[in-house]
Amino acid sequence: MRAVIQRVIQASVSVDGKAVGKIDHGFMVLFAVHNDDTEEKLEKMANKIINLRIFEDEEGKMNKSLLGAKGALLIVSQFTLYGNSKKGNRPSFIDSASPERAKKMYDSFINILKNKNIHVETGIFGVRMQIELINDGPTTLIIDI
């Protein structure tokens, strides 16, 4: 399981020119499921993301979590995070979970986060989306679980 987390001032995702998810202040999360991932990893990934201390405290140090900063999440599925271009120039995506399995895991991941009383917005799984964001910092992390 892989997530690219960007601390944002604001972020939105659109489909066909219409906004389907938008947040102010929080994390824009690109989320991918590996074909070997299990449901048990979802809770661990959710806890890692909401407890990452990458928001600044009163002294300007990265010391506050998403919970402490009262931030929101914009979660967008992105199977291409497991693209492998070691051989040639056209990436292979064989390490990504099948669309059916990835959708089930994506939906479960979102429900886990919502059950933690986090404001969660999403894209639409499996469709072409456009993302706009203002990265704060910039601060970007890659998390593998």
- Can you give the pTM of this predicted structure? 0.93
Give the whole-angstrom CA distance, residue 129 versus residue 107: 17
* Active-site residue, selected from the candidate residues 6, 27, 55, 78: 78
What domains are there in the chain, each with its CATH number? Answer: 2-144 (3.50.80.10)
* Active-site residue, selected from the candidate residues 38, 80, 130, 140: 80
Give the whole-angstrom CA distance, residue 40 versus residue 110: 14
Listed in sequence order, the residues at least 6 apart from 44 whose beta carbon sits closer than 8 Å to its beta carbon are 145
pLDDT recorded at residue 14: 97
Does residue 79 carry a catalytic annotation? yes
* Active-site residue, selected from the candidate residues 27, 31, 79, 109: 79
pLDDT recorded at residue 98: 95
Does residue 140 carry a catalytic annotation? no
Does residue 122 carry a catalytic annotation? no
Mean pLDDT by 10 residues, the chain (145 residues): 98 96 97 95 97 94 95 96 91 94 97 96 95 95 96
pLDDT recorded at residue 19: 96
pLDDT recorded at residue 3: 98
Place of tokens 């972020």: 11
pLDDT recorded at residue 88: 87
pLDDT digits (tens, 9 = 90+) for 60-102: 899 999 999 999 999 999 999 999 999 989 999 999 999 999 9
